[in-house]
Amino acid sequence: MERVIGIDLGTTNSCVAIIDDDGIPQVIPNRGGYKTTPSIVAVTEGGRRLVGHIAKRQSITNSENTVYTAKRLIGRKWDSAPVRSARQSVSYTIDEGPHGDVRIKLRDEHFSVQEISAMILQEMKLVAEESFPGEPLNRAVITVPAYFNDGQRQATKDAGHIAGLDVIRIINEPTAAALAYGYGKSMNKTIAVFDLGGGTFDVSILEIGEGGVFKVVATAGDTFLGGEDFDLRIVDWLIDGFKKEHGVDLREDRMALQRVKDAAEKAKCELSAVKEADVNLPFIISHGPDNESLHLQRSIDRATFETLCADLLERCLDICRGAMKDARLTASDIEEVVLVGGMTRMPAVQKACSDVFKREPSKGVHPDEVVAIGAAIQGKALLDEQEDLILLDVTPHALGLLTAGNHFDELIGQNTTVPTSATKTFTTSRDNQTAVKILVMQRESDENQLLGEFLLTGLRAAQKGQIEIEVTFSIDSDGIVSVFAKDCETGLEQSIQVTSSSGLSQEEISQMMVSAEEYMIERKGDDELEGVRQNAEKLIAEIEKLFPEVEALVASSDFGREALAKTRDVLALTKDAIAKNELAAIKEHSEALTRTLKMFKGVVSRPT
Ligand code: AMP
């Protein structure tokens, strides 16, 4: 059976998992042996694209062309509040795209956020494919924060398509974590998943029942609350202190700011294990106001850090209380708490979580890996009918229409089990009204957001209130919304899959798919060249090492001298082919070098 990969496309790190032949979920490590890959993309001065650890390592010296936390921008409009705030804090340039969407400038090119995310997804696909050589791994389940809205889900799915993946399902991160937690165990339990990652916070409450039934009863979250906000508290504290001491604002120096951000994140992580962390950034400013070099040296203790982010923790707790209220449950009904996301390593986060749920969190799952594992489990269950798994998730936002007088008319309530649909009949509000504009709204944190709009035209002329229009909203298992409108009398109908106005057109997606594929062909070619080159260089080194010894043994015969001359020629030709990146020639000469090395080894091991 074809395998499905599970991808946790994280704000900070991404992870890929698969179910192995024995039915055991496995996280697949990347080439460097790491089980997670930084969700970072960069373009070098020479135009080379870098993804993951290699992009992270060069981020300080190339901060303007290094994109991180792209997930915070996906599916959002350029002029939305979150993007406006990101524009102030990121080191790369965010421009406005043709649909009022976000485009990121890397060197001379602009990329949509979907393309940036696709580059990360391609990398994760590659990580998986390297563990299963020769097996194409095209099908994927990708996870998103439970609190993602329709536009963000669509955009993530589009990113998958651009990456050449058949995205068979989008599932919510906390739900995936619950699947990983409960997989293969027979239980009847109500659990809470507390998921605090690099960029988002989600909490879901689920009932796990016999026979592999996972039913989400409530979900709540904030897509702008995560590890980065905790880092920024330390960044502000360091920068404000430095300004007070030296009168220099490090925010104005991109490279210095990036160094402070990295150091703040490091200090934050250290403070999870020790009570005090040192921040030491020598030469943070090379020419200060009096042309002197300035250094940033400070230590921060755990208590100070916890005070700096007390309000962030309080926000997490409020969201948890809200989720319990929505589920009509109290802390005593929650039988297990599962922690997900790197930020749950912070002791104050763990304490806050146990305070609100009144129990110690479960230690049984790995916070960085559970989400990808859950996605892989869901992927297998979708293909394998024998698998006992029923997943019932909910929609995080209420959906409805905006009717006359800016009134939000709700059709589908928050926390309704998906897939679902709801129908409501509306009447025209003016005489001889021949068209109705349908404004599809989503209520997110008490604010109404326009998801999309469409016009039902060609209505027959009639007095106001005489024409009845039936509007049906559907939400599929990926959490994606479709709307269908019908003139009840004539049967005239129109439907749309709601793509938020910040989405890409089908044509753009196809074009981006082509360039992503071209890049992959080039990249695979590069990888092959690199492998062949490394092998050839190893052969050259071994032959050159043995050369003097072989020469001493064979140079006295004509045959020996001829063999040595041929060897010198092949060595020179191989080096030349390596310098010119000629794959076919390197391959051909490597064969000759392999024979030569065998011959050399035979000569030196022969008894004299
Ligand atoms: P995730 O999105 O789940 O990969 O979580 C990434 C976030 O977890 C980043 O903000 C990291 O800085 C944070 N993180 C990772 N390890 C730790 C740690 N030991 N203590 C505190 N935060 C951490």
Task: Choose the catalytic residue: 195, 229, 231, 265.
Answer: 195
| Per-residue pLDDT, 499 | 57
Band (pLDDT 50/70/90 cuts) for residue 502 is: low
Q: 596: buried, middle or exposed (CB in 10 Å: 19+, 13-18, 0-12)?
A: buried
Task: Choose the catalytic residue: 35, 71, 77, 215.
Answer: 71
Q: How far is CA 526 from CA 136, 582, 583, in A?
A: 19, 11, 9
Catalytic-residue membership of 231: no
| Per-residue pLDDT, 483 | 86
* Residues 440 and 483 sit within 8 Å (Cβ to Cβ): yes
Residues lining ligand 1, Cβ inside 6 A: 10-13, 197-198, 227-228, 265, 268-269, 272, 341-343, 345-346, 368
419 preceded by a cis bond (ω within 30 of 0)? yes
| Per-residue pLDDT, 88 | 85
Dist CA 175 CA 505 (whole Å): 30
Measured in angstroms, how far is the CA atom of residue 13 from the centroid of ligand 1? 9
Band (pLDDT 50/70/90 cuts) for residue 126 is: very high
Measured in angstroms, how far is the CA atom of residue 343 from the centroid of ligand 1? 4
* Residues 474 and 441 sit within 8 Å (Cβ to Cβ): no
Band (pLDDT 50/70/90 cuts) for residue 309 is: very high
| Per-residue pLDDT, 592 | 94
Torsion of CA 343, 348, 354, 360, to 10 degrees: 80
Angle (CA) 554-555-559 rounded to 5° is: 75
Closest residue to atom 8 of ligand 1, CA basis: 342
Mean pLDDT of the chain: 91
Closest residue to atom 22 of ligand 1, CA basis: 343
Catalytic-residue membership of 195: yes
Alpha helices in 183-253 (DSSP H): 227-246
Which atom of ligand 1 sits closest to the CA of residue 228?
10
| Per-residue pLDDT, 497 | 62
Question: Using DSSP, how many helices (H) and how many strands (E) does the chain show?
Answer: 14, 28
Measured in angstroms, how far is the CA atom of residue 231 from the centroid of ligand 1? 10
Q: CA quadruple 595, 599, 605, 606: dihedral positive or negative?
A: positive
Question: DSSP character for 339?
Answer: E
Q: Does the structural domain 397-498 have CATH classification 2.60.34.10?
A: yes
Band (pLDDT 50/70/90 cuts) for residue 377 is: very high
Q: What is the pLDDT of residues 461-481, one digit of tens each?
A: 888 888 888 889 999 999 888
Angle (deg, nearest 10), helices 506-554 and 583-605? 30
Q: CA quadruple 535, 540, 546, 550: dihedral positive or negative?
A: positive
φ, ψ (nearest 5 deg) of residue 52: 90, -145
Fold for domain 227-310? Actin; Chain A, domain 4 (3.90.640)
At 540, the amino acid letter reads I
Helix (H) or strand (E) holding 113, with range, is: helix 113-131
Q: Does the structural domain 4-226+312-392 have CATH classification 3.30.420.40?
A: yes
| Per-residue pLDDT, 193 | 96
The pTM for the full model equals 0.86
Query: Which residues are registered as beta bridge partners of 103?
Result: 95, 112
* Residues 317 and 323 sit within 8 Å (Cβ to Cβ): no
Question: DSSP character for 77?
Answer: B
Closest residue to atom 20 of ligand 1, CA basis: 269
Dist CA 474 CA 484 (whole Å): 8
Dist CA 126 CA 397 (whole Å): 34
- Which is nearest to 80 in space by CA: 9, 190, 155? 155
How many residues in total does the chain contain? Answer: 608
| Per-residue pLDDT, 531 | 86
Domain boundaries along the sequence of the chain = 4-226+312-392, 227-310, 397-498, 506-605
- Mean pLDDT across the stretch 230-248? 96
Dist CA 604 CA 560 (whole Å): 13
| Per-residue pLDDT, 594 | 94
Band (pLDDT 50/70/90 cuts) for residue 185 is: confident
Sequential DSSP letters for 403-464: ETTTEEEEEE-TT-EESEEEEEEEE-SSTT---EEEEEEEEETTEEEEEEEEEE--PPP--T
Catalytic-residue membership of 8: yes
Here the tokens at position 578 are: 């390596």
* Residues 216 and 175 sit within 8 Å (Cβ to Cβ): yes
Band (pLDDT 50/70/90 cuts) for residue 498 is: low
* Burial per residue of 100-124, b for 16 or more beta-carbon CB atoms within 10 angstroms, e otherwise: ebbbbbbeeeebbbbbbbbbbbbbb
- Mean pLDDT across the stretch 323-342? 95
* Residues 359 and 334 sit within 8 Å (Cβ to Cβ): yes
Q: How far is CA 84 from CA 132, 234, 312, in A?
A: 42, 21, 20
